[in-house]
Amino acid sequence: MKNKMWLWVLIVILVVAGLVYVAGKGKAPTEEIMQVEGVKMTVLQEGSGEAAKAGDKVSMNYTGRLVDGTVFDSNVDPKFNHVEPFTFNLGAGEVIKGWDTAIVGMKAGEKRTLEIEPAAAYGDQPVGPIPPNSTLIFDVELVSINN
């Protein structure tokens, strides 16, 4: 009698495990979160092709905002008057340290949200509408890599 009960328990466990497995198939992959040198990066959409590396010329779409949600710059919003991909040499110090750090490893088409601590952004210096010691949030998309 005990053996039959254990057999039924085992069957129920296997059926439930199978249902959980099948239910999980077809769902979007979970976001990947990484943290490096004062930057928290959340991968929203994977890209394809070669990964960006220092020395590459990269073109990006982006929207930058403060933690309170105030958008301070964007190249995808016409109200900022520069709606075209932003191009720079990765790792050459042409952008804030957080960008030079966070864009390495991205592939064309990849989208990430970057949360950049002040030390990897503008530190204690105010820059335009950005107050001193601001954590910056960027939604970025790597448009292309030219190496």
Catalytic residue numbers read: 62, 72-73, 96, 122, 138
Find the helix or strand (DSSP H, E) in which 19 lies: helix 2-24
Q: Output the CA torsion sign for 30, 141, 134, 100.
A: positive
How far apart, in Å, are the Cα atoms of 102 and each of 28, 56, 98?
A: 23, 14, 6
C-alpha to C-alpha distances, 53 to 2, 13, 138, 139, nearest whole angstrom: 62, 47, 19, 19
Q: Which token pair is 137?
A: 């949030």
Sorted by sequence, the CB contacts under 8 Å of residue 40 that are 6+ apart come out as 33, 34, 114, 115
3-state secondary structure of 132: coil
